[in-house]
A and B are shown apart, each in its own frame.
Chain A
Amino acid sequence: MSKGAVLILGATSDIGLAVAHRFAGLGHPVQLAARDAAGLEATRTDMALRHNVEVTTHAFDALALESHAGFIDALPELPRIAVCAVGLMGEQSENEADMERAVRVMRSNYEGPASIFGHLANRFAARGSGALVGISSVAGLRGRATNYIYGSAKAGFTAYLSGLRNRLAGEGVHVLTVLPGFVATRMTEDLELPEKLTAEPEEVADAIEAALRKGRNIIYVRKIWWGIMTIICNIPERIFKGMKI
């Protein structure tokens, strides 16, 4: 029996790429989708050579909501697993000063991913099978001064995934929420991140593959993040508002 296709939304991101390699390595055909499909050509060749599987590339713009239904129709097959690694962090200070930027961050992390997952959820439900993997963020668990534009959009996405999971639980469709914590990617390249808290994209990919196999619902990649976020979420608001974290 051939393995089901895996769709990667945001395939030029480091996490998207690592997840694609992980599933291609297991013999799944892979559909790579990103805004710049031409830029995926080298990746397509590389992935097909390494893993000997079918790899296709597709132009996908998370913000062009009207294109989402047609995008799915144009895929070679309805995927078995869809992974959304679309995201945009931006600079918090710029997001504060410029509302256009802020809205773009909100739309990229919430509206776009929610829209494409909405379409996919309906088709997976009609088929009665499939898995949706949303890469959200620990930043969405509590708004902080340093990152709340990005964080609030991720909070929306996390809640959306939770709702989808609840809705689809009886329909044979699984929804996995991933809260990776720090990951060494292009997004965080210029930040000084503590080594013990920072996962490699490959670790995220391994965690996703394992979580799908075991039917997990919400995962952190490095377990220490569960502890950190439990503490952060339990600090009383009157103390939290005066803290710099």
Chain B
Amino acid sequence: MKLSGWGRYPVHTTALCRPRTPEALQAELADGPVIARGNGRAYGDSAVAQGRTVQMRHFSHMISFDDATGVLVAEAGVLLGDVITAFLSRGWFPPVTPGTKFVTLGGMIAADVHGKNHHKDGSFGSFVDWIELMGPDGVIKRCSPRRNKELFEWTLGGMGLTGVILRAAIRLRPVESAWIRQTTRALPNLEAAIEAFEAADEATYSVAWIDCLSKGDQLGRSLLMLGEHAAGDDLKKSRKKRPFEVPVKSKRTIPFDAPGLALNRFTVRAFNRLYYWNGTRKAGTTLVDWDSYFYPLDAILGWNRIYGRRGFMQFQCALPLETSAEGLKALLEATSAAGAGSFLAVLKRFGAQESRFSFPMAGYTLALDFPVNRTTLQLMERLDAITLAHQGRFYLAKDSRMSAQTLRSSDTRVSDFEAMRAAGGLPARFHSKQSERLSL
């Protein structure tokens, strides 16, 4: 069948197998190289393999939960949204969450995802107590910071290339309500945005929407959104009795592919102006329910179709703190000059992180998305070059087109990853279209 990531680009032909038991999975591994796939939310070709791709959604049992510590043991195919549905009403929330709840726990570990609290809490990997990983020989190993330590560390952010994650123990965080106290600040340009991020170090959550089409004095004008889990006392009287209940919202679905022209520099510019203006008007503190705060796009099912049939690409890089201001400026200037409107442009401060192969590093991360066409493909090459010139690196869960050379120039850890794979006999059992493209 034809399969792609969330960006619907590139599309490859692969056989999708859906094992239901570890034995069936072992049989698949014995037949030659595969890649595990969760819910297909990586944007590019991380979870699509030449030959066979292993769909892990049947491994979706929750196994145990400890009310005292918040430790959940579950199979890798469990969706993050199901974890929230099950445990938020009992006062627990994911410790780290990406921008969609439609991801599997296995996928979150393989990409070592980050959230709006990275500057304070680090990536998802910091909350994983242990994993069970099926290796190239079909043997299942328990890996943790103490046991099979190296394999554990390589698997966080290892993009499924160290084995198939079967189960994990993760630590949820206690919360008092399902609400977030959100403070929005409108910032006229990039300098102001960075200053505001640095001043907001104490906030639990921080993220900025950035207008990537603004120019000159207004380059990088942003809406910074800070968030805290609301305490019971923050809620209105009527809500205090049921702090974990939020109003039910209707879901919208994008029923068909938008024509390729629907998102162009004019419509995006108009949208951005309106959005920024609206943000200035509404600046201040409000209470927002968890779903609207963390997952605004999940309310529009199939939103990836607004980019039309040819699909779209994400660009996400991280820049070290020292080069961030200059590097971000250059990235935004290049984007603005190309007039390639990115509908979703997100800026975020990362905290320090030491890891074998994960994406985050102390500094700033910028995420942009573009419809697939010749102009944007050229623009992304330029953005790659700017990132390299500022010692930045790239997020593999978003990548669909980078070259092996670019990856190697960005990250000295790549050769260690390759050596680890070779030593373990992993390339013969685990590969993806991405790992082939990037020679991992």
Chain A residues engaging chain B, CB cutoff 8 angstroms: 25, 42-43, 45-46, 49-52, 186, 189
Contacts and interface: CB of A to CB of B under 8 A. Distances in A.
B18 A50 contact: no
27 contacts: A25-B85, A42-B61, A42-B63, A43-B61, A45-B61, A45-B62, A45-B63, A45-B64, A46-B60, A46-B61, A46-B62, A46-B63, A49-B62, A49-B63, A49-B64, A49-B65, A49-B86, A50-B62, A50-B82, A50-B85, A50-B86, A51-B86, A52-B86, A52-B89, A52-B90, A186-B20, A189-B18
Contacts of B82: 50
Given A43-B61, A49-B86, 7 more contacts: A42-B63, A45-B64, A46-B60, A49-B62, A49-B64, A50-B62, A52-B90
Contacts of B60: 46
Contacts of A46: 60-63
A189 B86 CA distance: 29
A25 B62 CA distance: 15
Interface in B68-101: 82, 85-86, 89-90
Interface string B9-37: 00000000010100000000000000000
Contacts of B20: 186
Interface string B193-232: 0000000000000000000000000000000000000000
Interface residues of B, number: 13
A189 B17 CA distance: 9
A1 B64 CA distance: 28
Contacts of A50: 62, 82, 85-86
Q: Which of B20, B86, B90 has the most CB of A within 10 A?
A: B86
Between B60, B61, B63, B64, the greatest number of chain A beta carbons within 10 A of the residue's beta carbon is seen for B61
A49 B62 CA distance: 7
A50 B78 CA distance: 11
Nearest to B18: A189
B274 to A, nearest CB: 36
Contacts of A25: 85
Contacts of A52: 86, 89-90
B220 to A, nearest CB: 42
A186 B90 CA distance: 34
A42 B85 CA distance: 19
Contacts of A49: 62-65, 86
A88 to B, nearest CB: 18
A228 to B, nearest CB: 21
A45 B62 CA distance: 7
Nearest to A51: B86
Contacts of A189: 18
B302 to A, nearest CB: 13
Nearest to B20: A186
Contacts of B64: 45, 49
Nearest to A42: B61
A197 to B, nearest CB: 16
A25 B82 CA distance: 11
